[in-house]
Amino acid sequence: MENETGKIEIAVLGGVGFNSYNDYDTLSVQTPYGEVITYHTMIQGKNIAVIPRHAGKNHIPPHRIDYRANIWAINSLGIKRIISTNSVGSMRGHPIGSFVVLDDFLDFTRSRPSTFYDDITVHVDVSEPYCPDIKAALKNAIEKQGLSYTEGVYACTEGPRFETRAEIRMMSQFADVVGMTGVPEVNLAKELSLCYASLAIVTNQACGMTTQKLTAEEVTEVVGKAQDSILKIIADTIANIPETRNCKCMYARIGASL
């Protein structure tokens, strides 16, 4: 499992469909927020830790995921880069199964702990929430597969219900896609000065965009069909992320504390 340094280099946060890791080594990581089971393997000669967000005895719904535990575990393992995968609904007519590399986000969550700093004031800068180095590697990997992508703004809602037509009409004025798992992950990664970027796959048209009823089954079905492409994109992204961090993500905490 280990390369020459033994260092785990990149974490992958998997969404719906990332549930089978029979061939991976497992490691239990204790955090102040609870235990996190990480799955370890080699991809493109690099040590990778995979954390499936929804894994558990039962499928963990988006509003119950322990985001702080997951990001804390990644940081405690010495990992500085995170590739996230997110299932999204399109508010702009993106084809089902297409990819969006997230560029910015809107936070419509309500009850999720969204910071590690409850006892001190930390105003972390999120003017560039997604790491430009990882984003560039994701775009190149998608193109290498002969696939197309767009960049877009992500709106994160609380869940677990789908959004109403009125909510989609409102959010579509400002965002391109909608999902339930990308926040507070991105904030928490910034607070720990980690590099974080997200590959979003369009699994459905958002409520009101078609006359069809939204179902959880269609989300799982689309991700299942795209699984091979997703894994190839992630593998190629891992291979082409620069060895050293040249972005500003590592400086996110500087000047943030009062």
If phi > 0 it is left, if psi is from -120 to 50 it is alpha, else beta; for residue 207 that is: beta
Decide if 1 is inside a domain. Answer: no
Decide if 236 is inside a domain. Answer: yes
Total-model pTM: 0.92
Q: Evaluate if residue 44 carries a pLDDT over 80.
A: yes
Q: Could you give the 3-state DSSP secondary structure of residue 176?
A: coil
Q: Evaluate if residue 3 carries a pLDDT over 60.
A: no
Instruction: Report the pLDDT averaged over residues 134-152.
Output: 96
Contact 256, 122 (CB under 8 A): yes
Decide if 257 is inside a domain. Answer: no
Decide if 218 is inside a domain. Answer: yes
How confident is the model at residue 21, as a pLDDT? 62
Decide if 43 is inside a domain. Answer: yes
Decide if 258 is inside a domain. Answer: no
Decide if 84 is inside a domain. Answer: yes
pLDDT per residue as tens digits for the range 6-43: 577 999 998 765 555 667 889 999 999 999 999 999 98
Contact 23, 53 (CB under 8 A): no
Q: Distance between CA 18 and CA 15 in Å, rounded? A: 6
Please report, for the domain that includes residue 148, its CATH number. 3.40.50.1580
Instruction: Report the pLDDT averaged over residues 182-211.
Output: 93
Q: Distance between CA 140 and CA 63 in Å, rounded? A: 32
Alpha helices in 118-241 (DSSP H): 132-144, 165-171, 185-191, 216-240
Query: Which string of b and e fits 22-32 if b means at least 16 CB within 10 Å?
Result: eebeeeebebe
Instruction: Report the pLDDT averaged over residues 216-237.
Output: 87
Decide if 213 is inside a domain. Answer: yes
pLDDT per residue as tens digits for the range 57-72: 668 999 999 999 999 9
Residue 214 structural domain: 8-251
Q: How many structural domains is the chain composed of? A: 1
Q: Could you give the 3-state DSSP secondary structure of residue 200?
A: strand
